[in-house]
Structure 1
Amino acid sequence: MEAREPVAELDARYSDPKATATPWAEARGLLQGAGTFWLSTVRPDGRPHVTPLLGIWAEGAMYFCTGPAERKAANLAANPHCVLTTGCNSLTEGLDVVVEGDATVVGDDALLRRLAGAYEEKYGQNWHFDVRDGAFHGEGGRALVYEVAPSKVLGFAKDPYGQTRWRF
């Protein structure tokens, strides 16, 4: 269940006159079903960093995991602002979605167990995680789990082209 239902607004400046605002249910469905997301963070020296990763939309937020020594973890420790994107690379069909927010480390074991189950359900047995000490543990070792509660979500529809902003 969604914790909060956002308000959808079509931005006519970037939309075809025939476009209508994309319903949140469509964007949420894309976030739930997408296999790959692109995470954008900022290095401590200000340079951008972008990397693909797996993600889960659950309980009204995006979740992803990474090793504590990875570049994205170091970036988020210095600056929690980030962007997650997903969609398709077609120019004429589909929907691209951009989620903006601040990443926070999840430490609640009950939530982590729910998320571990969601990872395995979505991505299969290769993505099985045990939960202990406020983190995921799997074949790759310990992984921090981050929550990104959206401050803003943008959707870019094609055919007709339309930009929807969902305000939370």
Structure 2
Amino acid sequence: MRNHEPATDLDARYSAPGAEPIDWDTARDGLARAGTYWLTTVRPDGRPHVTPLIAVWYDGALHFCTGEEERKFRNLAANSHCVLTTGNSALDEGLDLVLEGDAVAVRDDERLRRLADAWVEKYGEDWRFEARDGAFHHLQGGRAVVFEVVPSTVFGFRKGDYSQTRWRFAAA
């Protein structure tokens, strides 16, 4: 298991007077509990591509899966830099999170089996995958590559008692 204890900074320019930084445990729990995430990748021509997806927090990283024919997969094959965001649309409550990192394909079948269990635990039986041959295979057909995004930087935007916190992680 990774032990990522980030450097934490409060940006007073975007925080209420007297605001305190959000602790990393709160942000990590928010990343783990979220149901929907937005993945931003870069198209070959440099334009952004954004799509919603589901993900699991496991062993210090966010994990998501996608088919090899999908735009996000093709984008990541050319440029692994990406951003995952989550939060809620309320203006004055909640915590929005932005995770920056590089997406790396997970190919180890044993690790994929553990991740498949995490998918079912979080999202239920509709999201049961068989892990084999370096990918997820849905029981109803279809192959998906699993990507891991270890955070390099995470931003937290607390609404209501506004604060902006940045967590920076040492390079692995």
Q: State how far apart, in whole Å, the 2-side matches of 1:140 and 1:91 are.
A: 40
1:34–1:140 Cα change, 3 Å: farther
Q: Which amino acid aligns with 2:100?
A: E
Task: Name 1:43's counterpart in structure 2.
Answer: 43
Task: Name 1:154's counterpart in structure 2.
Answer: 155
Task: Name 1:65's counterpart in structure 2.
Answer: 65
1:86–1:18 Cα change, 3 Å: same
Q: Which amino acid aligns with 1:106?
A: V
- For structure 2, the 5+ residue unaligned runs are none
Q: State how far apart, in whole Å, the 2-side matches of 1:34 and 1:116 are.
A: 17
Q: State how far apart, in whole Å, the 2-side matches of 1:88 and 1:7 are.
A: 25
1:124–1:152 Cα change, 3 Å: same
Pairing of 1:99-138 with structure 2 (within 5 A): 99-138=99-138
Task: Name 1:52's counterpart in structure 2.
Answer: 52
Q: State how far apart, in whole Å, the 2-side matches of 1:133 and 1:3 are.
A: 29
Task: Name 1:17's counterpart in structure 2.
Answer: 17
- Aligned sequence identity (%): 63
C-alpha contact 1:18 1:160 (8 A) present in aligned 2: no
Question: How far has the Cα of 1:82 moved from its partner?
Answer: 0.3
For the residue of structure 1 that corresponds to 2:73, the secondary structure is: helix
Q: State how far apart, in whole Å, the 1-side matches of 2:74 and 2:43 are.
A: 8
Q: State how far apart, in whole Å, the 2-side matches of 1:134 and 1:41 are.
A: 22
Question: How far has the Cα of 1:126 moved from its partner?
Answer: 0.2
1:11–1:140 Cα change, 3 Å: farther
Question: How far has the Cα of 1:2 moved from its partner?
Answer: 4.9
Which stretch shifts more, 141-150 or 5-14? 5-14
Question: How far has the Cα of 1:140 moved from its partner?
Answer: 4.5
Deviations 1:56-94 (A, max 9, x none): 111001100000110000000011000000001111000
Question: How far has the Cα of 1:13 moved from its partner?
Answer: 1.4
**Segments of 4+ moved more than 6 angstroms:** none
Task: Name 2:81's counterpart in structure 1.
Answer: 81
- For structure 1, the 5+ residue unaligned runs are none
Q: Which amino acid aligns with 2:123?
A: Y
Which stretch shifts more, 30-39 or 4-13? 4-13
For the residue of structure 1 that corresponds to 2:8, the secondary structure is: strand
Question: How far has the Cα of 1:18 moved from its partner?
Answer: 2.4
1:2–1:157 Cα change, 3 Å: farther
TM-score, normalised to structure 1, is 0.97
Q: Which amino acid aligns with 2:56?
A: I
Q: State how far apart, in whole Å, the 2-side matches of 1:123 and 1:155 are.
A: 24
1:142–1:13 Cα change, 3 Å: same
Q: State how far apart, in whole Å, the 2-side matches of 1:9 and 1:140 are.
A: 45
Q: State how far apart, in whole Å, the 1-side matches of 2:36 and 2:141 are.
A: 19
Q: State how far apart, in whole Å, the 1-side matches of 2:13 and 2:59 are.
A: 32
